Amino acid sequence: MRIVLADLKGRSGFVSKDTVAGGYGSRLRPFSKVTKIYTFLKRRFHDVPSVQMAYLAAIADRAGHEVAYTRGEQVDGDVALVLSSLVDHQQETAWADQARARGLRVGFVGLAASKMPQLFEDHADFLIQGEPEAAVMRLVAGEPLAGKVISEELPDLDGLPFPRWDLLNERRLRFGVPYSGRPAGGGLSVLASRGCPEFCTYCPHRILAGYRTRSVDNLVDELAYLCELYPRPYIIFRDPLFTEFRERTLEIADAIEARGLQLTFECETRLDRLDPAVLDRLHGVGLRAISFGVESVSAETLKKVGRRPIPQAQQRLVVDHCRRLGIVTAAFFVLGFLDDNWDSIGATIDYAVDLSPTVAQFKWLTPYPGTPLWKQIGPKVYQEDWEEFDGFTPTFHHPNLTENEMRYLLGAAYNRFYMRPSYLANYLRIQQAGLRDVVARLDARVAGMHSRREAAEMTRSVTC
C-alpha cells in the first residue's frame, strides 16, 4: 500500500501547525512594519517539518508500506493522511476533496480533526480522534478505517519507532546566524514527552491526551540516531515542559555527554523549572535557546486562568543567567485576559521590555474549542470563521476593550518591544557601561516618541 502523508504548507502569512497551539496551529499575517519583519524571520527560522508526520512515516515503513510525502502537490497513492489545523482547514479539506476525486481514501489526523470533526467529516473517509499512532498501526495492519476512529493514547512511548525524517525528504540547507540560537532553515523536532501536566484554562496542549514521558535511554537513542543521519543536528524539543523533572533533565544531559553526541538544541519550559546549575549543565551539552510563557505581569490574572505564577525574581534570574551564557530566550505573552484593560496590558508590555528576553511573542487570548476557557466565554465569541482563531486576531467580545483597541494594543506591543535601541544592543550582547548609558538615553527618547504617536492615534499612550 502507498500511504501519502500531507503536511500542507499554509497560505497567507506564516502558518505553523503540528504542535503549535496544541495542534490547532497559528497564523501570523503582518499588520505593521515590525510584524512584517517578524513574519519574514518566522518563515526563515520556524518552518519546520511535522514530527507527527515523521512518526506516521516510521509506522508505515515498519509495516512494509511505501511512504510518499507532500507539502501541497497531489501525489498518487492508496491512502492519504492529512495533518489538520484550524487556521488552514479550508485548504486541507480542498486538498482532500481533490485526492478523493483521484481515487485515494483520505483520513485526517491531529487536534483539529479530533475536536472539530464537523470541519472535516464531509471531506474524508475517516477521521482519527486522538493521538494518531494507535489507529495508524491498525490501518497499516490492514484494517479499513472508516468514519470517526478512536485512537487510544499509547501508555508506553518507548514502543514507537523513531520518526523517519528521511522519508519526509528532510534534506534542507541550514546555516547559523550569529546570536540567533536556532539556525536559518529550522531544525528537527523531538518529543521527549506528550501532553502537559499543567492546568492553564486557555491552553490546548493538554486536551488531546494525558501527560507521559519517554525513558531517558529511549530518548537519547533517538538523538544518537539523528546524529548518525545528520551531522551536528539542531534539535527542537517540542514538549511544553521539557525540564519538568530536574533529576530527569540532568540525567538526559549526562547521557548526551556520555554518548559523546555532537548536537545543539532548544527547549520550551517553565522558568521555575530552571536554575543556574541546570542551565550550566544543559548549555554544556548543547542548549542554545529556551522558550517560556510569561503571559501576564499580573499574578492575580494568571491565577484566575489556572496558571501558577512565577515570581519575577525567578524570571529575571533565569533570563539574566541565559544572557551570560549566550542562550537565546524567547518569551511568550498573552494579551486580553478577561480582567485585562488598557493599563494592565500596558503594564505587561512594560514588563516585557524590562525583562528583555532575546525575542518576545505577543498573542491575543484565543478561546480554543475543547479548553475550559471555551466553555467559560463561548457565548462571547463572535468570530464565525475558524481560520481566524490564529492567536493574533480578536475573536470574542472583551468586557473592557473594543476590537479596535485590541488590535492596536497588539501592534503597540511589538513596536514597544522591538523598536528601541536597547533591543538591538541586547541582541548583539553589548555590555560596555558607557555604551549602555547612551542606549538608555536613546531608549527614553524613543519611548517618548511612541507615547506621543499613541496619544495622537488613540488619545492615550500604552505605557502605565
What is the β-pairing status of strands 212-213 and 147-150?
Answer: unpaired
What is the pLDDT confidence band of residue 185, given thresholds at 50, 70 and 90? confident
**Is the model's pLDDT at 463 over the cut of 80?**
no
- Digit-coded pLDDT (tens) for 305-337: 999 999 999 999 999 999 999 999 999 999 999
What is the pLDDT confidence band of residue 91, given thresholds at 50, 70 and 90? very high
Query: Who's near 387: CB < 8 A, 6+ residues apart?
Result: 27, 86, 87, 88, 89, 90
What is the pLDDT confidence band of residue 11, given thresholds at 50, 70 and 90? confident
Q: Tell me the domains of the chain and their CATH numbers.
A: 2-150 (3.40.50), 172-419 (3.20.20.70), 422-464 (no CATH)
Q: Which range among 176-185, 277-286, 382-391 shows the weakest confidence by mean pLDDT?
A: 176-185
Q: What is the pLDDT of residue 12?
A: 86
Nearest residue to 22 via CA among 457, 319, 330, 391: 391
Nearest residue to 457 via CA among 407, 395, 423, 417: 407
Contact of 2 with 368, CB cutoff 8 Å: no
Nearest residue to 131 via CA among 44, 56, 45, 220: 56
**Is the model's pLDDT at 299 over the cut of 90?**
yes
User: Can you tell me the distance from the alpha carbon of 151 to that of 135, in angstroms, rounded to the nearest whole number?
Assistant: 5
Helices (H) and strands (E) in the chain, counts: 15, 16
SS3 312: helix
Q: What is the pLDDT of residue 464?
A: 62
Q: Within a 10 A sphere around the Cβ of 464, how many other Cβ atoms?
A: 12
Q: Which three cell numbers stand for residue 296?
A: 501576564
What would the DSSP string read from start to end of 23-68? GT-EEE---SHHHHHHHHHHHHHH----HHHHHHHHHHHHTT-EEE
User: Can you tell me the distance from the alpha carbon of 351 to that of 349, in angstroms, rounded to the nearest whole number?
Assistant: 5
What would the DSSP string read from start to end of 130-175? SSSHHHHHHHHTT----EEEE-PPPS-GGGSPPP-GGGGT-----B
- Digit-coded pLDDT (tens) for 387-410: 999 999 999 999 999 999 999 999
Q: What is the pLDDT of residue 158?
A: 98
